[in-house]
Chain A
Amino acid sequence: MRILNKLGQYGLVFWLAVSLNFCLPRLMPGSPLKLLVGEDIGLLTAAQRAEALASVGLDQPLLIQYLLYWRDLFQGNWGFSFQRNVAVSTLLAERLPWTLLLGGSSLVLSTLIGVGLGAWAAWQRGRGQDVGLLGLVLLLESLPTFWLGMVLLGFFAVHWQLFPSFGAMSRWVSLSGWAWIQDILRHLALPLLTLTLTNLSRPFLVTRYALLEVMGEDYIRVARAKGLPEQVVLLRHALRNALLPVVTVVALNLAFALAGATVVETVFAYPGLGRLTYEAVLARDYPVLQATFLLVTVLVILANSLADLLYPVLDPRLRER
Chain B
Amino acid sequence: MRRQLLSFSSFLLAALLLSFLGYYWQPSVFAQSPELSIAINRDESTLQPYTYVTGYPGWNLLNLIYDTLFILDAENQPQPWLVESMQVSEDGKTYTLKLKEGVKWQDGETLTSADVKFAYEFYKDNRHSRWTPPMRSIAQIDTPDPQTVVFNLESANAGFVYQPLADVPIIPQHIWQGTTDPKTLETRVGSGPYQLQEYQSDQFYRLRANPNYFAGKPAIEELLIPIIPENTTIFSALRTGEIQATTRPTPPELVQEFERDANLKVVRGAGFGSTLLQFNSERDPWSQVAVRQAMDLAIDREQLVERVLLGYGTKAESGWFHPASPAHNPDLRSLYNLEQAQSLLEEQGFRDSNGNGIREANGQEMEGSLLVAANNPIRLRTAELIAADLDKIGIRLTVTALEPESLDARVWPDGDVSKGRDYDLAIWGWSAPVQINPLRMISLVHSDPAIGTLNIGGYRNPEADALAEVWTATADPAEQIQRSHQLEALIAEEVPFAMLFFEDGIYSFRPQAYDRWTFQKGQGIFQKLSFLPDVRL
Chain A positions within 8 Å of B, measured between CB atoms, are 28-31, 33-35, 37-46, 48-49, 51-52, 83-86, 91, 94-95, 109, 112-113, 116-117, 119-120, 123, 150, 153-154, 157-158, 161-168, 170-172, 182-183, 185-186, 189, 193, 196, 229-231, 234, 266-269, 271, 275-276, 278-279, 282-284
Cβ-defined contact, A165 with B412, below 8 A: no
Taking CB atoms, residues of chain A closer than 8 Å to B200 are: 94, 271
Inter-chain CA distance A167–B225, complex, in Å, is 12
Known: A28-B406, A113-B13. A41 touches B240 (CB 8 A): no
For residue A193, which residues in chain B have a CB less than 8 angstroms away from its CB? 20
Q: Which of the 9-residue segments B38-46, B347-355, B500-508 touches chain A?
A: B38-46
Q: How far, in angstroms, from A48 to B129 measured CA to CA in the complex?
A: 9
Instruction: Assess whether B70 is interfacial by the CB under 8 Å rule.
Output: no
> B216 → chain A, closest Cβ, in Å?
25
**Nearest B residue (CB) for A179:** B29
CB distance from B417 to the nearest CB of A (A): 7
Structural contact, B127 and A162, CB atoms closer than 8 A? no
Asked if B240 and A165 make an inter-chain contact with CB atoms under 8 angstroms apart, the answer reads yes
A162 nearest in chain B by CB position = B24
B58 sits at the interface (CB 8 A): yes
Known: A38-B130, A168-B203. 18 other contacts (CB 8 A): A31-B409, A39-B130, A42-B453, A43-B453, A44-B129, A46-B418, A49-B416, A91-B201, A94-B200, A116-B12, A163-B24, A166-B237, A166-B242, A171-B37, A171-B206, A266-B230, A267-B233, A278-B229
Contact between A40 and B201, CB atoms less than 8 A apart: no
Partner among B6, B133, B408 whose Cβ is within 8 Å of the Cβ of A30: B408
CA distance A162 to B412 in the complex (A): 46
A113-B13, A172-B34 given as contacts; is B25 within 8 A of A44 (CB)?
Answer: no
Q: Judging by beta carbons under 8 Å apart, are A186 and B232 in contact?
A: no
- Among A116, A153, A154, A166, find the residue whose CB has the most chain B CB atoms closer than 10 A: A166
B residues in contact with A150, CB < 8 Å: 232
> What's the minimum C-beta distance from A50 to chain B, rounded to whole angstroms?
10
Q: Given A162-B21, A165-B242, verify A230-B2 contact (CB < 8 Å).
A: yes
CB of B8 closer than 8 Å to a CB of A: yes
The 10 closest A-B pairs by CB, nearest first: A41-B415, A30-B405, A29-B409, A40-B130, A43-B133, A42-B453, A230-B1, A269-B228, A116-B12, A38-B129
B129 touches which of A43, A164, A269 (Cβ 8 Å): A43
Q: Establish whether residues A166 and B54, one from each chain, have CB atoms under 8 Å apart when the complex forms.
A: no
B237, A185: Cβ atoms under 8 Å?
Answer: no
**Is there an interface contact between A85 and B51, defined as CB atoms closer than 8 Å?**
yes
Using a Cβ–Cβ cut-off of 8 Å, how many residues does chain B contribute to the interface with A? 81
The answer to the question of B50 belonging to the interface, with a C-beta cut-off of 8 Å to chain A, is yes
Q: CA–CA, A183 to B29, complex, Å?
A: 10
Which residue of the partner chain, among B28, B229, B410, B453, contacts A269 with CB atoms under 8 Å?
A: B229
Residues of B within 8 A of A (CB): 1-2, 4-6, 8-9, 12-13, 16, 19-21, 23-25, 28, 30-35, 37, 42-43, 45-46, 50-55, 58-59, 127-133, 183-184, 200-204, 206, 224, 226-230, 232-233, 236-237, 239-240, 242, 404-406, 408-410, 412-418, 443, 450, 453-454
- Across the interface, do B232 and A31 meet the contact criterion of CB distance under 8 Å? no
Contact B127 A37, beta carbon cutoff 8 Å? yes
Which single member of B31, B226, B233, B410 contacts A171 (CB below 8 Å)? B226
Question: Closest residue of chain B to A116, judged by CB?
Answer: B12
Pick from B37, B130, B131, B236: contact of A157, CB under 8 Å: B236
Contacts of B13 in A (CB 8 A): 113
How far is it, in angstroms, between the C-alpha of A127 and the C-alpha of B411 when the chains are bound?
Answer: 58
**Residues in chain A near residue B227, CB distance under 8 A:** 269
**In the complex, A154 Cα to B233 Cα: how many Å?**
9
Q: Are B415 and A33 in contact (CB under 8 A)?
A: yes
Q: Which residues of A contact B230 (CB under 8 A)?
A: 266-267, 269
Expressed in whole angstroms, the minimum distance between the Cβ of A54 and any Cβ of chain B is 11
List B contacts of A117 (CB < 8 A): 9, 12
Q: Is the CB of B1 within 8 A of A231?
A: yes
A161-B240, A166-B237, A172-B224 known; A271 and B203 CB under 8 Å?
Answer: yes
Q: Who on chain A is nearest to B443 by CB?
A: A42
The answer to whether residues A41 and B414 also contact, given A85-B46, A116-B9, A157-B240 and a CB cut-off of 8 A, is yes
Q: How far does the alpha carbon of A85 sit from the alpha carbon of B48 in the complex, in Å? A: 11
B-side contacts of A153, CB under 8 Å: 232-233, 236
By a CB distance below 8 angstroms, the chain B residues around A279 are: 42-43, 202, 229
A61 vs B454: C-alpha distance when bound (angstroms): 29
C-alpha spacing A168/B405, complex, angstroms: 29
Q: When chains A and B are docked, how far (Å) is the Cα of A267 from the Cα of B4?
A: 39
How far apart sit A40 and B163, CA to CA, in the bound complex (Å)?
Answer: 13
21 contacts between A and B (CB under 8 A): A33-B414, A43-B129, A46-B418, A51-B127, A85-B46, A85-B51, A94-B201, A117-B9, A120-B9, A153-B233, A158-B239, A162-B25, A164-B28, A165-B236, A168-B203, A171-B37, A172-B34, A229-B1, A234-B5, A266-B230, A267-B232
A229 to B24, CA, bound (A): 40
Known contacts A29-B405, A29-B406, A116-B12: does B236 contact A154 (CB below 8 Å)?
Answer: yes
> Which residues of the other chain, B, contact A45 by a CB distance below 8 angstroms?
450
